[in-house]
């Protein structure tokens, strides 16, 4: 059975995709935050304000998660760069394992972020 070879360029390509996705999420969170700020000015009802505070907290959690994911990508890119400087185009198995685990984290984060957006849009349609 032949082993699959994974090249640094393949991982770098995926990192670039993820970075663009994370930048989009960051930008989108700013827009969601703006909508939230509009609602804070419109509503005085304590229940609505409590829900707005929950969304505010969830937006901060998402922003922190995005920052952590971006930091991880930078670390992995640094490792790839070090291998490239040595003339190595293939990473070791541990790095491939970490990359695969990170891919799973991105998949999970997509689901969490999508759920947050969907719920917030429902909330907006009710209170905007």
Alpha helices in 43-85 (DSSP H): 46-85
- Model pLDDT, residue 57: 98
pLDDT, one tens digit per residue, over 64-102 is 999 999 999 999 888 878 877 777 666 667 777 888 899
Q: What percent of the chain has pLDDT over 70?
A: 91
Domain boundaries, given as residue ranges, for the chain: 16-35+46-127
Using only C-alpha atoms, the chain has a radius of gyration, in whole angstroms, of 19
Mean pLDDT value across the chain: 89
Q: Are 124 and 43 in contact (CB under 8 A)?
A: no
Residue 113 pLDDT > 90, yes or no? yes
Q: How confident is the model at residue 18 (pLDDT cuts 50, 70, 90)?
A: very high
Dihedral of CA 44/47/50/54: which sign? negative
Query: What CA–CA distance (Å, rounded) separates 23 from 114?
Result: 15
Residue 106 pLDDT > 80, yes or no? yes
Residue 3 pLDDT > 60, yes or no? no
Q: Which of 34, 27, 77, 28 lies closest to 52 in space, CA to CA?
A: 34
- Model pLDDT, residue 85: 79
Global confidence as pTM:
0.85
Residues forming beta bridges with residue 7, ordered by sequence position: 90
């Amino acid at each position: 059975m032949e082993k699959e070879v994974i090249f640094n360029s393949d991982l770098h390509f995926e990192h670039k995709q993820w970075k663009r996705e994370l930048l989009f999420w960051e930008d989108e969170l700013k827009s969601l935050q703006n909508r939230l700020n509009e609602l804070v000015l419109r509503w005085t009802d304590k229940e609505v304000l409590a829900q707005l505070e929950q969304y505010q907290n969830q937006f901060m959690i998402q922003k922190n998660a995005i920052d952590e994911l971006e930091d991880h990508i930078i670390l992995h890119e640094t490792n790839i760069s070090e291998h490239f400087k040595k003339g190595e185009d293939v990473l070791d198995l541990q790095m491939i394992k970490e990359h695969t685990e990170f891919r799973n984290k991105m998949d999970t984060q997509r689901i969490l972020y999508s759920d947050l957006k969907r719920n917030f849009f429902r909330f907006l349609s009710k209170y905007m």
